[in-house]
Amino acid sequence: MWPRAVHGPQCWTSICVIKYMLVVQGSIFFMGLLMILGRTPMSVSRISIQTCDQTEGTIPSKWSTFSLLASATYKIVKPRNYTNLESKRFAYMVLGPRRIDIEGLQETIDRDVFWVTFKDKSGDIFSPRATHNGARNALLHYVVNMASHTLNGGYLYYIFMDDDIVLSLRNDGNVNWKPWKQMKNNTFERFEDFLLDFRPAVGYVRFQDNWRQPTDASRSTDLHHDFDECFNAFHKDTLSFLLPYDTHFDYDSWYTGGWIARHHMGMLYHSYRMQCNSLYIDNTIHGGRSDRYKAGYDYAKARDYIKSAIKPTSTMLQKSVLQADSEGKGLQPIGRMPGEPKVKGDHSYLITDEFISSNFIKYHPMIQKIMSWRKTPEVERILHLRTRNESRFIPDSLYTDSPTRFWVPKSKQKSRKTNKHRHSHIRRREWH
């Protein structure tokens, strides 16, 4: 029922009410039209970028906004120009309060190092108010934008890193994957060698929490679900789905974005998320951010969020979303995962439009954000989503009916044998 017109000095006249209702109806119709056209009138979250002149305090020369991406505003403080340059293969994307020297991490002919800082403007970009995930997304966006201007379409690996990690070599047991004299002795070079030889979808290293990321020193690689985010390398093609981090739950906990990303990895690239056992990270210092971190463990919400984005008919993906409870304990898949880490073959990590539309619900916010990211011109330029001639994407899913607990008994871990032929298909010098 329309509201009835009431006549009186304080009340609207019937004409006013009719006009008012027309405006309301018109707006609803207009919003509906926008939705039909595939735009959403209210952006859920956004990245806005302020490009400043080199000198501080000048008027911003340009603003850009990408709706539906992580909420992060950043300012470019040290612009680079990559137009017409060949791209390197490794982009390190470091997050910290201020830029510091990290031993062994100089730029090389194959490595760029970008910083996002939140305490001062000593990095490449400055993002003082963003959440952890938001700041990473801001830097990712900036680096992808740089990469999209290069001649050969950008980096092979995008490597997120916290400034306060201590990376060291581990030469115990049989963690080498080639003769020791060929193993690199610089930490970051060894990591890059690992990425080139195994081509993981996501690469990471041994961590101080051995209970969370147990390591078998008789092997060069291990496979986990719950690995720490402080040092993760993403193969370029995984940018078609795994990144940017979903910031939907940042209001509640900064852990959840990474938790969601690791579930996506489990659904799509199970055997290709790989730990390098000959490198180790200590991350106990935590320089200047413990006061900022929003911690929470209600992963049940995140689990429902992911599950509700997958079509009910995609049973394999549905089953890959593991159990979680509101305390984040007990049902988390901690420890070594079933299966073996695999060296990448000829298949592509690129998630196609066709794969998304047949397995996910288009209007779900998780999928809308991914689609909106994929449609940005810079992502289009580095992934060539619409012009690349890829065959279907076939997910490598962690498919389990039961159990949903992945604690591997100690005795079982020890009895694992290394397979000498496991890495016989190591590929080199290729750009995919």
Ligand X SMILES: *[C@@H]1O[C@H](CO)[C@@H](O)[C@H](O)[C@H]1NC(C)=O
| Binding residues among 374-393 for ligand X as defined by CB under 6 A | 389
Nearest to 183 by CA among 171, 201, 199: 171
Task: Choose the stretch contacting ligand X; rule: CB under 6 A; options: 103-111, 175-183, 311-319, 346-354.
Answer: 175-183
- CB of residue 91 to ligand X, shortest distance in Å: 19
- CB of residue 165 to ligand X, shortest distance in Å: 22
Judged by CB, which is closer to ligand X: 139, or 183? 183
- CB of residue 268 to ligand X, shortest distance in Å: 22
| Binding residues among 62-81 for ligand X as defined by CB under 6 A | 81
- CB of residue 84 to ligand X, shortest distance in Å: 4
Judged by CB, which is closer to ligand X: 29, or 63? 63
Judged by CB, which is closer to ligand X: 112, or 228? 112
| Binding residues among 185-214 for ligand X as defined by CB under 6 A | 185
Judged by CB, which is closer to ligand X: 86, or 291? 86
Number of shown-chain residues binding ligand X (CB under 6 A): 9
Judged by CB, which is closer to ligand X: 253, or 277? 277
- CB of residue 81 to ligand X, shortest distance in Å: 4
* Helix (H), strand (E), coil (C) string for the chain: CCCCCCCCCCCCCHHHHHHHHHHHHHHHHHHHHHHHCCCCCCCCCEEEEEECCCCCCCCCCEEEEEECCCCEEEEECCCCCCCCCCCCCEEEEEEECCCCCCCCCCCECCEEEEEEECCCCCCCEECCCCCHHHHHHHHHHHHHHHHCCCCCCCCCEEEEEECCCEEEECCCCCCCCCCHHHCCCCHHHHHHHHHHHHCCCEEEEEECCCCCCCCCCCCCEECECCCCCCEEEEEHHHHHCCCCCCCCCCCCCCCHHHHHHHHHHHHHEHHHEEEEEEEEEECCCCCCCCCCCCCCCCHHHHHHHHHCCECCCCHHHHHHCCCCCCCCCCCCCCCECCCCCCCCCCCCCCCCHHHHHHHECCCCHHHHHHHHHHCCHHHHHHHCCCCCCCCCCCCECCCCCCCCCCCCCHHHHHHCCCCCCCCCCCCCCCCC
Judged by CB, which is closer to ligand X: 292, or 388? 388
Task: Choose the stretch contacting ligand X; rule: CB under 6 A; options: 182-190, 218-226, 279-287, 360-368.
Answer: 182-190
* Orientation angle between helical segments 256-268 and 132-147, nearest 10 degrees: 50
| Binding residues among 310-339 for ligand X as defined by CB under 6 A | none
Task: Choose the stretch contacting ligand X; rule: CB under 6 A; options: 134-142, 183-191, 288-296, 338-346.
Answer: 183-191
Judged by CB, which is closer to ligand X: 182, or 284? 182
54 touches ligand X by CB under 6 A: no
| Binding residues among 82-101 for ligand X as defined by CB under 6 A | 83-84
181 touches ligand X by CB under 6 A: yes
Category of 347 on φ-ψ map: left (φ > 0), alpha (ψ -120 to 50) or beta: beta
Judged by CB, which is closer to ligand X: 184, or 375? 184
Judged by CB, which is closer to ligand X: 184, or 347? 184
- CB of residue 149 to ligand X, shortest distance in Å: 8
Contact characters 338-377, ligand X, x per CB under 6 A: ----------------------------------------
- CB of residue 193 to ligand X, shortest distance in Å: 9
- CB of residue 258 to ligand X, shortest distance in Å: 33
Nearest to 291 by CA among 141, 124, 119: 119
CA 402 to chain centre: 27
Judged by CB, which is closer to ligand X: 284, or 389? 389
Category of 5 on φ-ψ map: left (φ > 0), alpha (ψ -120 to 50) or beta: beta
- CB of residue 151 to ligand X, shortest distance in Å: 10
- CB of residue 264 to ligand X, shortest distance in Å: 27
Residues that bind ligand X (CB under 6 A): 81, 83-84, 181-185, 389
